[in-house]
Structure 1
Amino acid sequence: MSAPEPSTTVPTTDALRDAVDVMDRLYSPGGCPWDREQTHASLVQYLLEEAHELAEAIETGDRAGMREELGDLLLQVLFHARIASEEPEPFTVDDVAADLVAKLVRRHPHVFAEGVPGHGAGTATDLHAQWDAIKKAEKRRSSVLEGISHTQGALARAQKVLSRSERGGLGDVARGTVPVSSDEAAPADRLGRELFDVVVRAQAAGVDAEAALRAELRLVEAGIVEAERVGTYDGARADGAVADA
């Protein structure tokens, strides 16, 4: 498939279309050499970094940072779609957007489907069940756990497993699958169960376990930085820690 001709980017009142055109210019022949060398696989690290940086901006209340990081995350979407436009079985960012619109409308019949029982109503629990049922039918899933990413953090993944299992009526199974660790159990097994129990408690309290740990780590990091600033730490031990890292 021949590469499309690079576009001449002219600012318009449609900022999203301008962003698409700029990405097209960067990736097209005669654009940015580095961009042209990238693949879906090579961009994964940046996609994950941008998502984490956006989460950090949100959790710390950094509004300017949030706006910037949303743009950086949008760039990743545009970048992957532009690469895909030149591959076998190509698709464009317009195809991505069209699929998203169709999916959102299809999965929200209580909003978009006039005449459907429950239109404009329903509790959050009802809507979760409806969402899951529609997804299961669409994707022909045989398990409530299908589709949970294995690349996310273990705490977040554990909470997702609990959430999905509870909505599927299998919460008791999830919570009781692993026997309570005994003193004779291997340390890793015992600690694994203890960590999972913490996630169970977080889920019951409506707390995001991963976000809670990130917040606690920010406090720990701030304390370490402050101790370094005022010199209230053991310099020899700190030097050794850096050397061992």
Structure 2
Amino acid sequence: MIAELLAEVEQRTGLGIADGLQIASPAALVRLPFDPGWPLLVLAETSPAPGPLADPGPGSPDGAVFRAVALPGRGVHATDPARLLQALYPADHPVLGLGGSPDTTAGALASGALAAGAHLLPGLAAEANLASPYGLPWLAARLRAPDGCPWDRAQTHQSLRKHLLEEAYEVYDALEAGPTPELAEELGDLLLQVVLHAEQAAEVGAFDLSDVYRAIDAKIVRRHPHVFGSVRADSVDQVLRNWEQIKAAERAEASAAGRAEASLAAAGQAGAEGPAAHAQPTSQAQPTSPAAIDEGMPAAFAGLSRSLPALAYSQEMQERAASLGYDWPDVERVLDKVEEEAVELLEAATPEARREEFGDLLLVLVNLGRKLDIDAEGALRAASRKFAARFATVERLAAGDGQELRGLSPERLDDLWEQAKQEERA
């Protein structure tokens, strides 16, 4: 049967197995990865529908073996094979009926017809393969090609840094509304930044997206031995303790690798410059790699990005310290420290001292948020949005009375603020 279908495909399209023809049943389409950029032969359905999400069996302590019904990443559209194909192909993309099935288009394809007979979907052109994980990397390479976009060709890792931050913050803001189409769009903008940086690295032979995938996938597997190994972790606290132990081992390994790199660099320099190089102070033999060890940063804080917002940077640093046992025993002690730092701020006599004491107070306030399981960055952003909304109401109320804020007394401003709070509650 398949031989006859392959012969019909070759007769109608000139395509054969050597052209990358993908072959699957409708049920397999929703479970297995395939790419719309390659031709797809969908056979008539002959197997039963896939089983439940997790089938009982040996392998894990509770006897469950994970088996996804739908390919992760395409699950929303995989309620049936036809709907999945309609999400991956343009509505007017041709679908060739084989073995007597009628021709149709992706948009008109029905699940019953798809299961009843064989069909061929020709591969999409690269610029039309929009829902594939390979589509965006192709577009990035096309933009950077000699005849691509002048603006994209002029960009560097450094020039794109601000765009990466902007897109990350836009995702952060979109998350407030939950899983919306706007969030999907913002996540796409952020993903583009990842792909652009990987494309630039590939152009100079440093790495490509496959290395990015491999690095993060390996890290996730390594840091989840309770999922992919034999370690038991029945609570979040156990998982966090395991993580800190694993990350501490990773940091020690990275530190050792950095020292080894420094030694090799020093040896190489000595070999290149001859015996005179041995007279140089050893402090000059430092690795030139961007990944050189930051000698001023404790190992527990290694890898913390200095580009993080200050509140997030401080909270992550204190989270790491607490995971190693450096923590207040209770919230009350942290509140006492807040009061102590506030008094020291008021007693500071110089601008420099006030700046330092204000920083200490902020640090303790972030620690208080950590103890209360509050994200300091998110809390301040929410408070700022609330202030902006109330201030807009104050301006409106004042304008309704024919008043300008500059000319109002503190008492009147307080009154308007209370009115704004009452409107907000209503």
Flag the structure with larger Rg: 2
| Greater relative CO, 1 or 2 (CA 8 Å, sep 6+) | 1
Of 234, 237, 241, the residue aligned with 1:125 is 237
Letter in 2 for 1:49: E
Q: Which amino acid aligns with 2:243?
A: W
Q: Are 2:15 and 1:15 aligned?
A: no
Q: Name the SS for the 2:158 alignment partner.
A: helix
Aligned residue in 1 for 2:307? 151
Contact 2:130-2:136 at 8 Å conserved across structures: no
Asked whether the 8 Å contact 2:251–2:299 carries over to 1, the reply is no
**Residues 85, 91 of structure 1: 8 Å contact kept:** yes
Instruction: Output the CA distance in 1 between the equivalents of 2:177 and 2:396.
Output: 22
SS in 1 for 2:300: coil
Aligned to 2:142: 25
Map 1:50-69 onto structure 2 (within 5 A): 50-61=167-178, 63-69=180-186
How many Å separate the matches in 2 of 1:67 and 1:32? Answer: 25
Name the residue aligned to 1:3: none
The correspondence of residues 195-206 of structure 1 with structure 2, limited to 5 A, is 195-206=362-373
Tell me which protein shows more helix as a share of its residues. 1
Unaligned runs of 5+ in 1: 1-7, 238-245
Displacement after TM superposition at 1:203 (Å): 0.9
* 1:96 aligned residue: 212
Residue of 146, 162, 166 corresponding to 1:49: 166
Q: 1:50-71, CA deviations, whole angstroms, 9 ceiling, x for partnerless residues? A: 0001101112447222111100
Shift of 1:112: 0.9
Matches within 5 A, 1:1-245: 9-12=126-129, 15-61=132-178, 63-87=180-204, 89-113=205-229, 116-118=230-232, 121-140=233-252, 143-172=299-328, 180=341, 182=344, 183-185=346-348, 186-229=353-396, 231=399, 234=404
CA contact (8 A) 2:225 2:231 kept: no
Structure ranking higher in strand proportion: 2
Q: Secondary structure at the match of 2:302?
A: coil
Deviation at 1:135, TM superposition (A): 2.0
Deviation per residue, 1:20-46 (Å, 9 max, x gap): 111111112211110011001000000
C-alpha contact 2:315 2:370 (8 A) present in aligned 1:
yes
Paired residue type of 2:246 = I
CA shift at 1:132, angstroms? 2.0
Equivalent pair of 1:9/1:25 in contact (CA under 8 Å) = no
Q: Distance in 2 between matches of 1:164 and 1:17?
A: 37
Paired residue type of 1:207: I
Give the aligned length: 222
For 2:360 and 2:308, locate their aligned partners in 1 and report how far apart those are by CA, in whole Å: 19
* 1:158-216 deviation line (CA, Å, top 9, x unaligned): 1111110011112249x78xx84534333223322222222122111100011001001
